[in-house]
Amino acid sequence: MAKGILIAAMDFSDVAEDEFHDWYDTEHVPERLRVPGFLNAERWIGTQDPKVSLALYDLDTVGVLHSPAYLAVGGANGTPWTKRVTGRTRMIIRLEGEQVRPGDALAPPGANALLLIAMNVAPEQEGEFNEWYNTEHLPQLGAVPGVLAARRYRGAGATQRYAAIYHFAHPDVPNSQAWKSAANTPWTERMRPHFRDLLRIDARRYGRAT
């Protein structure tokens, strides 16, 4: 089961759409899935902005991203195609995360929509923030009808240190009354003023055009 994740979101407004998807589908994702410890790959597209791409890779452990096999294809060792495409994109977030809750869950099958929330918290509130997230916020949101998985990560490499990922059976779940009730408790309202660098991406599953 997965104990780590790689989250990579970028704005590809300055890249031709067909080239971007060809690069991702035919080179970038297959290259990563050949690295031992990469368990799967999911691609998502921003709901509000279709030029936002979000990729999620479940990992055996976050240490996979520091293995010789990954370093051989990552960073400065990217292919010419990778360098050409990524040189014209704007990185929104790239987070190397360790799964905090539930601990080792994989991305679920059958999801049609996704929500990524990433943030920091005021240092003096970090203890309560983690208690709130682990004991109330994530469990309550995970129990909302239509939520297929609710996972939480602590990471490095991005502006934000914490991230949560919610997979939905359909895109209306976060608009439901059940979701709104679970997401807006008194404890949640008490914590909101301490959030920093908040990033939210609502996304639909990417499907390659045939």
198 vs 209: which has the higher pLDDT: 198
| Residue 96 domain boundaries | 4-205
pLDDT at residue 210, rounded to an integer: 67
Determine, yes or no, domain membership for 210: no
Determine, yes or no, domain membership for 198: yes
Under 8 Å between Cβ of 43 and 29: yes
What is the per-residue pLDDT across 60-106, written as a single tens digit (0 to 9) for each?
999 999 999 999 999 899 999 999 999 999 999 999 999 999 999 99
Residues in contact with 40: Cβ distance below 8 Å, sequence separation at least 6, in sequence order: 33, 57, 58, 106, 107
What is the per-residue pLDDT across 174-204, written as a single tens digit (0 to 9) for each?
999 999 999 999 999 999 999 999 999 999 9
CA distance 210 to 208: 6
- Closest by CA to 166, choosing from 189, 135, 199, 144, is 144
Task: Please report, to the nearest 10 degrees, the dihedral formed by the alpha carbons of residues 66, 71, 74, 75 taken in order.
Answer: 90
> Can you spell out the DSSP letters for 35-74?
STTB---EEEEESS-TTEEEEEEEES-GGGGGSHHHHTTS
The mean pLDDT value of the chain amounts to 97
Task: Please report, to the nearest 10 degrees, the dihedral formed by the alpha carbons of residues 81, 33, 50, 22 taken in order.
Answer: 40
> Count of domains in the chain?
1
Determine, yes or no, domain membership for 30: yes
| Count of C-beta atoms within a 10 Å radius of residue 119 | 18
What is the per-residue pLDDT across 10-54, written as a single tens digit (0 to 9) for each?
999 999 999 999 999 999 999 999 999 999 999 999 999 999 999
What integer is the mean pLDDT of 130-157?
Answer: 98
β-pairing verdict for 195-205 and 147-156: unpaired
pLDDT at residue 1, rounded to an integer: 75
Determine, yes or no, domain membership for 151: yes
Determine, yes or no, domain membership for 129: yes
| Count of C-beta atoms within a 10 Å radius of residue 105 | 16
Determine, yes or no, domain membership for 95: yes
User: Which helix (H) or strand (E) is 177 found in, with range?
Assistant: helix 177-183
Determine, yes or no, domain membership for 46: yes
CATH number for the domain harbouring residue 127: 3.30.70.100
Residue 123, SS3?
A: helix
The proportion of the chain whose per-residue pLDDT surpasses 90, expressed as a percent, equals 96
pLDDT at residue 2, rounded to an integer: 82
How far apart, in Å, do the first and last CA atoms of the chain sit? 32
pLDDT at residue 208, rounded to an integer: 83
| Count of C-beta atoms within a 10 Å radius of residue 91 | 11
pLDDT at residue 68, rounded to an integer: 97
Q: How far is CA 65 from the centre of its chain?
A: 16
